Each structure stands twice: as structure tokens, then as C-alpha cells.
Amino acid sequence: MSEVLNKQFFVRKLDQFLASGNFRRTPERYKVLDVVLGFSKHFSVADIQAKLQQDNFYLSLATIYNTLRLFVRANIIKSIDFEGADSTQYVVNGITSNVYLYCTTCGKIKDVRDTDFITFMNTRKYTAFKADHYSLLVYGTCNTCARKRNNSINKKSPTKKSLK
């Protein structure tokens, strides 16, 4: 039930934004919104394009990019640019946390819920500025990549043999 309400909320939000900016209400925009709302985590333009093709709904990359830019302006999604990543990642506002762990080796992204960070950010006050939202990008190496690296280092280094 909450998924339906969530979808209705975002459709109304898009309707209001399009009306306020005199943008056209096109079926392509609503189809992309439907696809975007189907993701529970991060997604890229390639993810959207693949899902649209599965549904036999073909859009140009330019249309997808322009629609996502519009959704960012409407505060429906937010874009997350990870330094060194191949593409921009997007996430629906309110679906994931605001703390992202990015593995610089494999590119895996993990959302974490850091209640201490959330509490800290919610208590921050800035002079002449009201924060709407925030995110923290943490760069490093995931456990899987660290294990692989350690295993390859251990295989390369010769074992010490005792001399008799």
C-alpha cells in the first residue's frame, strides 16, 4: 500500500512541478518516473535504458538525461557523482540513506544508515543558509577487494623457509 501511495506522491509532485514551470506532461516523462520509482537503490542511465528496453519502450539517451535533469530540479531524485566512477548515479529522494560508501577498486556503492551522522547534521545551523538535504561520500576499498588484494600480495611474497 505504501508503494502505491509513494508513487502517487511522486506523480503529484511531478504534476505540480511541470505545471509550475509550464513544462509539457509527456508520456515519456511519466514512463521514466515509473521506471525510476522501481529502483530501491542507486541507478544509472544505463539501468533506466535497460529497463525501458525490457518493457519495449525505447527512448533516446538525450531524452533520458533531460528527464533526469528535470526530476533533479523537481526534487524527485538526486544525482550522486562519485569521483572516478564511470557514470553519475541517481537515487529517489527519501529511499536511501545519505551516507554512501564507494569502493574505488570495483565501483560498488553501499548505503549505510549512520544515526550519529544524521543526528549531527540535523543539529547543524548555518548562518544565512537553510540546508535542504545532505550526503556524505566516503571513498575507500570494500572488504571483497581488500581480501583479493591481500590474497594476491600473500601469493607473490615468498614464504620464509627455515635454514637448518
Residues in the chain: 164
Helix, strand, coil percentages for the chain (3-state, nearest 5): 45, 15, 40
Q: Report the range out of 2-11, 36-45, 83-92, 155-164 with the highest average pLDDT.
A: 36-45
**Does 12 score more than 50 pLDDT?**
yes
Average pLDDT, the chain: 85
Q: Looking at the DSSP assignment, which residues form a beta bridge with residue 102?
A: 109, 139
Three cell numbers written together for 25: 506532461
Task: Using the predicted structure, report yes or no on whether residue 150 has a pLDDT greater than 60.
Answer: yes
Dump strand ranges (E) for the chain: 77-80, 89-92, 99-103, 109-112, 136-140
The pLDDT-based confidence of 141 (bands split at 50, 70, 90) is very high
The CA distance from 118 to 115, in Å, is: 5
Lowest-confidence pick of 3-7, 73-77, 145-149? 3-7
How much of the chain, in percent, has pLDDT values that exceed 90?
42
User: For residue 92, which amino acid is it?
Assistant: V
pTM of the model: 0.72
Position 121 scores a pLDDT of: 82
Highest mean pLDDT among 30-34, 128-132, 145-149: 30-34
30-38 average pLDDT score: 95
Neighbour-count burial for 90-109, b at 16+ CB within 10 Å, e otherwise? bbbbeebbbbbbbbeeeeeb
Nine-digit cell string for 157: 611474497
